[in-house]
Each structure stands twice: as C-alpha cells, then as structure tokens.
C-alpha cells in the first residue's frame, strides 16, 4: 500500500492508503505502485486517479508537485477537487470555475472603485491647494 496525501494551501483533499496512482506529469501520464522507485514530478492540470483495490477515485488538480518517497506520496496543488465519478467531478469543477470567476470580477470592481476614490482624492487635494495660494 501507498500512503497518499493530496494537499492544497487551504485543506487536505485526500489522506489514505491506496494501491495505485495514475497522474499526468509534464512528460505525460505515469503510474506509481508501492515498490516504485522514489520519484518527483511536476503535475499538469488534469485528473489525478488513485485506486483502492478495484475501486477508482478521481481528483481534479491544478498544476502541482508530486513526491514519492518510500511508501509515501505527497501531492501539493494550488487547487484540487475530489468527486465520486467523472460526471460529478466535471460539475464540481464547473461550479468552482464560476465561483472563482465571480470572485475575480468582484475583486476587479473593488480595485476600480479604489482607483476612482484615489483619483477623486487627488482632485480634491489639488482644489484645496489652489484655494490656499
């Protein structure tokens, strides 16, 4: 068995014993089993597969890093979402993209408001300076 731990900056997505891992590295897909040589790989955004017996599990990950050392595999990714099947995972990823897009739009609006307030502040300062001279 391999001890797999998938982490993002906010949470631990998976922490379990698995039999096999299939991941998409920068040079293509690869498979890890318990007796595989120690290994490190940059991961591409995509589907990360792992197996417990014959049961298949899916995690969508943003780009990340995988390190296999002994019987441990650590995966660190910026974003990751697990699903029971590929259809559910697709829906969860779409939902996450909508949330991220809405957050980005709100951030852009807040930044524009700050910029407008700053410009108005400078205009007011200039008017006050002209009054005093």
Same domain (yes/no): 8, 68: yes
Residue at which a domain ends, from 60, 83, 106: 83
CA–CA separation, 102 and 99 (whole Å): 5
Length of the chain: 133
- Residue 5 CA, distance from chain mean position: 14
Token output for 126 = 């200039």
CB 80 within 8 A of CB 43: no
Same domain (yes/no): 91, 128: yes
**pTM of the predicted model as reported, rounded to 2 decimal places:** 0.70
Q: Residue 17 sits in a domain of what CATH number?
A: 2.60.15.10
- List, for residues 32-91, the tens digit of each pLDDT value: 999 999 999 999 988 899 999 999 999 998 889 999 999 999 999 988 888 777 777 777
Residue at which a domain ends, from 57, 83, 109: 83
Does 112 score more than 90 pLDDT?
no
- List, for residues 16-41, the tens digit of each pLDDT value: 999 999 999 988 999 999 999 999 99
Cα dihedral value 58, 61, 65, 70, nearest 10 = -10
CA–CA separation, 48 and 31 (whole Å): 11
Determine the average pLDDT of the residues in 85-114: 76
Q: What is the pLDDT of residue 48?
A: 92
Q: Which run of H or of E encompasses 53?
A: none
110: three-class secondary structure by DSSP: helix
Same domain (yes/no): 65, 93: no
CA–CA separation, 98 and 43 (whole Å): 23
Beta bridge partners of 126: none
């Amino acid at each position: 068995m391999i001890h797999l731990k998938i982490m993002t900056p906010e949470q631990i997505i998976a922490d379990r014993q698995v039999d096999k891992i299939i991941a998409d590295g920068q040079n293509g897909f690869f498979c890890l089993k318990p007796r595989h040589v120690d290994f490190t790989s940059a991961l591409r955004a995509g589907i990360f597969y792992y197996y417990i017996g014959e049961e298949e599990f899916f995690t969508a990950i943003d780009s990340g890093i995988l390190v296999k050392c002994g019987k441990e595999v650590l995966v660190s990714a910026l974003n990751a979402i697990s699903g029971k099947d590929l259809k559910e995972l697709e829906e969860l990823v779409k939902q996450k993209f909508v949330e991220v897009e809405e957050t980005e739009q709100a951030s852009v609006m807040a930044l524009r408001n700050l910029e407008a307030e700053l410009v108005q502040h400078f205009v007011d300062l200039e008017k006050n300076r002209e009054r005093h001279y």
